[in-house]
Amino acid sequence: MTSTDRPAPQPLTGLRVIEFTHMVMGPTCGMVLADMGAEVIKIEPIDGDRTRRLLGAGSGFFPMFNRNKKSIGIDLHSEAGAALARKLCAGADVVAENFKPGTMAKYGLDYAALSQVNPRVIYVSHKGFLPGPYDHRTALDEVVQMMGGLAYMTGRPGDPLRAGTSVNDIMGGLFGAIGALGALIQRGISGKGMEVQSALYENNVFLMGQHMLQFAMTGKHPAPMPARDNPWAVYDVFTVKDGEQIFLAAVSDAQWQTFCDVLGFPDLKAEPELATNNLRVALRPRLLKTIAERIAGRSAAELSAIMEQAGLPFAPIRRPEDLLDDEHLLATGGLADVRLPDGPKAGESVKTTLFPITMGGQRLGVRLHPPRLGEHTRELLEGLGLAGAEIDALRDQAVVA
C-alpha cells in the first residue's frame, strides 16, 4: 500500500513537452511524461481534438489520455498560428506528434526544421510503420493486429479477433516515452537532441516475437490461443453457479495436489494417469470436463475464497466497470478522480486509472484535470511575451482558441 503522507515524486519537473497528437498513441506518450511531472502542452485545432467528440468505445479516449496537460487551440493552417507553434517548440525539451508522414513538415514543425532552431529538442514521432515499404499506408490498431499476427493468435482458428483494448496504440505511446527518456539521458551527455520514432506495426510485431521464436524452435506453426497446445492441464475458464465464470489453474504437480485437496477430489489426486502435468495434459479434455461438472454448482465467490486461501491461481471473470469497485485498486490508490472536460457530463468527476507504477512508494497522481479546449491559451501566449490585446486579436481572427 502506498503512503499518502508525502507527495508523489515528479522526476520530470521542469521539462517542457509540446504535443501535436490526437486519438490514443501520441496522447499516451504525453500522459506518461506528464504523470512524471513534465509540463505537457497539448496543441489542438481551434475546434478541438476530434477525440473530444467521439462516441461509444471512443468516448473515454480524451479524458483517459490527456490528464496533467495544458491545452492551447491553434490554427496551424494559418501562418500566424504555425509561427506561434514554432515559437512554443523553440523552447521545448520534447516535441511529440502522431500525424501522417509529411504533415508536420508542411508547417515547419518537423524535426529537421525545429532542430535547426532548437538543437537540444527531442522529437518523438508516432507512426503506423517505421520508414520502409509500408510507411505510406494508413494504420489503425485493428490494421496492425490483423497483419501482425495478434488477431490470429487471439481469435479461434479461422476467426481472427482484435484484442479488447487499444493495445498497440497504448504500447506505441509507451515506447515513444521510453525513447524520449533515453534520448534525454543521451542529451545530458552530448548536449544534443535527436529524433525518436515509434510505430504501431513494429510494436505489434514485438509482441509476436515469442511466437515467432516458438516457430523457430519447434518448426510448428503456433496455434491461436484458444486452440493452442496448452502446456498445463488445469488452465481454463469454468462456468459455475448462476452462469458466473472463473479462471482456475494448477500449473505444477504440487499445485495439482493442493487443488485436489481443497476442492475435495481425492480420487483424481490418487489416479496414476494424472500424477504428472504431462500425463494430465494428455488427458486434458476428459479432466476439464470432469472438473467442470464437479464445480458447476459452486459460486465464483466460494471458489475464489478457496483458491486464495490455498495460494492457487484464480481469477473471476469481470467487466471493465467492475474494476471501479475493486478492493485492491481502492486500497492502493490505483484510481483517481478526474473532471470530465467535454460531453453531456462535462464538469462531473469520475474515476480514472493511474499509470501502473510507484516511484518512491507513491502512485503518480492527477495534478491537472483533462483540459477544456484552450483552457491555457492565454497563460501560454503570455509566456511567449504576447500582450492581452494581441491575444484577443488572435482569438478574434480565429488563429487561437
pLDDT tens for each residue of 43-79: 999 999 999 999 999 999 999 999 999 999 999 999 9
Q: Above 90 in pLDDT, residue 229?
A: no
Q: Above 50 in pLDDT, residue 292?
A: yes
The CATH 3.30.1540.10 portion of the chain extends over 230-319
Residues 6+ apart with CB under 8 A from 375: 70, 71, 341
Mean pLDDT of all residues in 324-343:
96
Q: Above 80 in pLDDT, residue 2?
A: no
Phi and psi at 138, nearest 5°, equal -85, 125
Mean pLDDT of all residues in 276-284:
96
Give the type of residue at 214. Answer: Q
pLDDT band at 6 (very low <50, low <70, confident <90, very high): confident
Burial of 196-205, coded b for 16+ CB within 10 Å and e otherwise, reads bbbbbbbbbb
pLDDT band at 231 (very low <50, low <70, confident <90, very high): confident
CATH topology of domain 230-319: formyl-coa transferase, domain 3 (3.30.1540)
Model pTM above 0.85: yes
How far is residue 42's CA from residue 375's CA, in Å, rounded to a whole number?
10
Tell me if 163 sits within 8 A of 207, measured CB to CB: no
Q: What is the CATH number of domain 16-208+333-396?
A: 3.40.50.10540
Mean pLDDT of all residues in 114-129:
98
The CATH 3.40.50.10540 portion of the chain extends over 16-208+333-396
pLDDT of residue 85: 98
